[in-house]
A and B are shown apart, each in its own frame.
Chain A
C-alpha cells in the first residue's frame, strides 16, 4: 500500500539536544512538506520541498532544518535553537500534477523533558 510513514510516533528530547524526525513516502510524489500543530491549533508550515535537493522555508522555519537527498525521504531536524519544540509534527506529500491534495503521515508527537 502506498503512503507516508512517520517515525517515531512519540519522541522525547532533553533541552539542548537536536532530534531528527523521519518521513518516508512511497507514493512517487515530488513535493513534501512539514507542518507543526499545537494543541487546538491549525497547521503551520515549517519547510517544503518541491524537488530533490531543493527546499524552501515555510512560515516558521527558525530552529528547524531539513534535507531532501532522495525523492522518498524528507527528514526534519529540530535543533536546540527551537525555543518551544513540544508539538505534533506532520509530514505530507503531493504530486507534481493535479489533483493537488496532500497525503499526510500519522504524525510524530515531540515532547521536551
Chain B
C-alpha cells in the first residue's frame, strides 16, 4: 500500500527525443507527487510536482501527467538533452497534519545520447 512502483529502471533516449518515466501507486491517501532529479555524487533536487486535482503540469520541457483513476503518474521530458542524463525518482506522500514522509520509487537512470 505504501509502495510507489517506477519503471523503467534505465532508459536510453536520443537527443531531441521524448523521455517517459512511469510511476504507479496504491495508497489513495497520497495527495502530493514530486519528481526528483539526481546527478552522480549529488543530492536529489526537486524537479516538478503535482497534486491530484490537476491532470497535467508543465514546466519548460518537463511535464507531469496524472491519472487519478488509474493511480498512475508519469514524467515526460520533451526535446531531451545530454544534460538531462541523470537518475530520476518519483515520490508520493499523503496529506494531513504535519510533515509527512515521502515514499520514493526505485529510480530511473536516464541516458541521453548526443
Contact = CB atoms under 8 A, between A and B. Distances in A.
A48 B106 CA distance: 19
Interface residues of A, number: 30
Contacts of B25: none
B43 A50 contact: no
A19 interface: no
B50 to A, nearest CB: 10
Interface in A11-52: 29-31, 33, 40-43, 45, 48, 50
Given A90-B44, A101-B46, A95 B99 contact: yes
Contacts of B101: 33, 45, 48
Interface residues of B, number: 23
Contacts of B46: 101-103
Instruction: Count chain A CB atoms within 10 A of each CB in B32, B43, B95, B105 and give the residue with the most.
Output: B43
A13 B42 CA distance: 21
A100 B100 contact: yes
Nearest to B32: A100
A39 B97 CA distance: 34
Nearest to A105: B43
Contact of A106 (B43, B89, B98, B102): B43
Contact of A31 (B89, B99, B104, B105): B99
A94 B105 contact: no
A94 B93 CA distance: 12
A40 B109 contact: yes
Contact of A50 (B49, B99, B105): B99
B98 A50 contact: yes
Contacts of B98: 30-31, 50, 96
A106 B45 CA distance: 10
Interface of B: 32, 34, 36, 41-46, 49, 89, 93, 95, 98-102, 104-107, 109
